């Protein structure tokens, strides 16, 4: 499974120029770890970062105009960093496994004369250092350029300036490197769980993955319980251990093929259904199931995991996430949080601090690179961040 080593984003809302991990700008930095947690005050740009990554996926799926025009983005004019007449730029560095080389994807989006977004430059290759050399798989400027097939370079021209080259060539078997990157980007799971949707009744049918908004919770639970019963059992055990009153969860199929989630509380004779269960419990159940996905997304992004959850459940989930991400080339998890007790169980290598500078632009720094945080975590293993917050450091 691919692993992101570095990200650079320029001119996307408050992200005037931010870098995480190892990129062409800082080739000697450490690659990003499997678990990345971003903390920072309100309005510093955490959601913007997650949205910027989702934006890339939307550009791939629907083209750049449609991605810019999503209601929560409101068009390219609102996306470009205020006061800067620049181009939106992304660099993603990733590696498929230890023996493969680090590859880079570069996307630059500008505005044409009619203020419509279009792709100025797109590149996929063996690090952006080698841009315009032979070591690329795709190189396009304003829709024209070449792609590499075997050892040949083939001239190509795209008809639609708003469609990504990786969406065209990433669907052709002749370009396996482009296909691999397209599949990687498509797999990113940037969660926007809406617990209320988990309450609704669905029709039977096993779904291989949980949707981003969680509306197929029962169908995904059906898939796991049927094909991976030990993984499902583990979720049930974790729930029973963490939430008093949820002794078992059973999937029930009604005569008219509706799929029901029954929550068994041994203190009551009859079960509760998903419709009766609290939002927090459903959310916890959904995240636990997500972490048991046998074919997980390469990148899982979760915003403010702690919302609506008791801090004990947040800690349990964070420990589970540490467990799931302990192997390089397993899923990579990106969290944003305001919860000190979550940060406390992480190491300063896993924590990034986001701030806004005097110009109103977001900045980001690893906690381990801040000497005081490094020292605190060495001394106060379990409460390093809480201590930092309490002291107003």
Q: Which phi-psi region, left, alpha or beta, contains residue 20 (left: φ > 0; alpha: ψ -120 to 50)?
A: beta
Give the 3-state DSSP-derived string for 34-65, with helices as H, strands as E and coil as C: CEEEEEECCCCCHHHHHHHHHHHHHHHHHCHH
Contact call for residue 13 and ligand ATP (CB under 6 A): yes
Residue 37 binding target from ligand ATP, Mg ion, none, CB below 5 to 8 Å by type: none
Range in contact with ligand ATP (rule: CB under 6 A) among 40-48, 117-125, 160-168, 250-258: 40-48
In sequence order, what are the beta bridge partners of 259?
Answer: 202, 253
Check if the beta carbon of residue 204 is closer than 8 Å to that of residue 253.
yes
Q: Does 114 bind ligand ATP (CB under 6 A)?
A: no
Q: How far is the CB of 349 from ligand ATP (least distance, A)?
A: 21
- Confirm if 253 and 219 have CB atoms less than 8 A apart: no
Contact 178, 157 (CB under 8 A): no
Q: Does 111 bind ligand ATP (CB under 6 A)?
A: no
Judged by beta carbon, residue 25 or residue 78, the one nearer ligand ATP is 78
Residue from 2, 7, 9, 14 touching ligand ATP (CB under 6 A): that is 14
Q: How far is the CB of 51 from Mg ion (least distance, A)?
A: 9
When binding is defined by CB under 6 A, the residue of 8, 46, 163, 182 that contacts ligand ATP is 46
Closest CB to ligand ATP among residues 44, 367: 44
Among 42, 257, 270, 371, interactor with ligand ATP by CB under 6 A = 42
CB of 114: closest distance to ligand ATP in angstroms?
20
- Closer to ligand ATP by Cβ: residue 51 or 320: 51
- The answer to whether residue 225 forms part of the interface with ligand ATP (CB under 6 A) is no
Q: Are 47 and 178 in contact (CB under 8 A)?
A: no
Q: What angle do CA 242, 245, 250 make, to 5 degrees?
A: 90
Give the C-alpha separation, 9 to 16, whole Å.
Answer: 7
Q: Does 340 bind ligand ATP (CB under 6 A)?
A: no
SS3 at position 111: strand
Q: Which C-beta is closer to Mg ion: that of 50 or that of 321?
A: 50
- Measured on CA atoms in the order 82, 86, 88, 91, is the torsion positive or negative? negative
Assess 337 for contact with ligand ATP (CB under 6 A). Answer: no
Among the residue ranges 76-84, 175-183, 214-222, 375-383, the one whose residues contact ligand ATP (CB under 6 A)? 76-84
Which residue sits closest to Mg ion, CB atoms considered?
47
To ligand ATP, the closest distance from the beta carbon of 45 in angstroms equals: 4
Q: What is the DSSP string of 66-77?
A: HHHTSTTT--HH
Q: What is the spatial distance between Cα 15 and Cα 48, in angstroms, rounded to a whole number?
A: 8
Question: Distance (Å, rounded) from C-alpha 225 to C-alpha 109?
Answer: 44
Q: Alpha-carbon Rg of the chain, whole angstroms? A: 22
Q: C-alpha angle with apex 247: 245 to 249, nearest 5 degrees? A: 115
* Member of 33, 40, 170, 198 binding ligand ATP (CB under 6 A): 40
Binding site for Mg ion (CB under 5 A): 46-47
48 interacts with ligand ATP by CB under 6 A: yes
| Residue 44 interaction partner, one of Mg ion, ligand ATP, none, beta carbon < 5-8 Å per kind | ligand ATP
Specify burial of residue 382 (Cβ count, 10 A radius: 0-12, 13-18, 19+). Answer: exposed
What is the distance between the alpha carbons of residues 388 and 341, in angstroms, rounded to a whole number? 12
Q: Residue 81 binds which entry of ligand ATP, Mg ion, none, with Cβ cut-offs from 5 to 8 Å by kind?
A: ligand ATP
122-151 in b/e burial notation, b at 16+ Cβ within 10 A?
bbbbbbbeeeeeeebbbbbeebebebbeee
Q: Is residue 324 a contact point for ligand ATP (CB under 6 A)?
A: no
- Pick the closer one to Mg ion by CB: 51 or 122: 51
Task: Kindly tell me which residue out of 10, 19, 23, 81 binds ligand ATP, with binding defined by CB under 6 A.
Answer: 81
Least Cβ distance, residue 36 to ligand ATP (angstroms) = 15
Q: Does 74 interact with ligand ATP (rule: CB under 6 A)?
A: no
Q: Which does 82 bind (CB under 5 to 8 A by kind): ligand ATP, Mg ion, none?
A: ligand ATP
Contact positions vs ligand ATP (CB under 6 A): 13-14, 40, 42-48, 78, 81-82
């Amino acid at each position: 499974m691919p692993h992101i080593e570095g990200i650079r984003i320029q001119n996307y809302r408050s992200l005037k120029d931010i870098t995480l991990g190892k990129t062409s700008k800082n080739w000697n930095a450490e690659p990003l770890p499997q678990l990345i947690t971003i903390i920072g005050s309100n309005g510093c740009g955490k959601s913007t970062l997650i949205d910027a990554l989702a934006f890339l996926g939307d550009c791939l799926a629907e083209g750049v105009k449609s991605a810019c025009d999503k209601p929560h983005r409101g068009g390219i004019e609102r996306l470009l960093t205020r006061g800067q007449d620049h181009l939106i730029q992304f660099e993603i560095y990733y590696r498929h496994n230890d023996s493969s080389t680090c590859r880079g994807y570069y996307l630059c989006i500008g505005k044409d004369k009619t203020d419509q977004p279009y792709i100025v430059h797109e590149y996929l290759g063996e690090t952006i250092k080698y841009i315009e050399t032979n070591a690329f798989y795709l190189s396009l400027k304003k829709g024209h350029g070449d792609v590499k097939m075997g050892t040949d370079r083939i001239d190509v021209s795209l008809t639609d300036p708003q469609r990504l080259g990786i969406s065209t060539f990433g669907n052709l078997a002749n370009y396996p490197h482009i296909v691999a990157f397209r599949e990687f980007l498509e797999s990113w799971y940037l969660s926007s769980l809406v617990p209320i949707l988990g309450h609704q009744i669905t029709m039977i049918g096993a779904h291989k993955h949980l949707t981003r908004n969680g509306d197929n919770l029962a169908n995904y639970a059906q898939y796991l319980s049927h094909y991976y019963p030990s993984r499902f059992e583990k979720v049930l055990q974790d729930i029973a251990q963490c939430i008093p009153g949820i002794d078992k969860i059973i999937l029930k199929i009604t005569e008219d093929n509706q799929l029901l989630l029954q929550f068994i509380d041994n203190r009551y004779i009859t079960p509760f259904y998903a419709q009766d269960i609290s939002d927090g419990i459903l959310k916890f159940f959904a995240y636990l199931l997500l972490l048991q996905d046998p074919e997980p997304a390469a990148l899982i992004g979760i915003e403010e995991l702690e919302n609506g959850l008791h801090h004990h459940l947040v800690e349990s989930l964070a420990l589970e996430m540490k467990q799931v991400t302990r192997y390089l080339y397993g899923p990579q998890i990106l969290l944003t949080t305001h919860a000190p007790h979550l940060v406390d169980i992480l190491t300063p290598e896993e924590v990034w601090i986001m701030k806004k500078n005097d110009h109103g632009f977001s900045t980001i720094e690893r906690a381990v690179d801040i000497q005081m945080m490094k020292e605190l975590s060495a001394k106060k293993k379990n409460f390093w961040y809480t201590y930092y917050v309490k002291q107003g450091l």
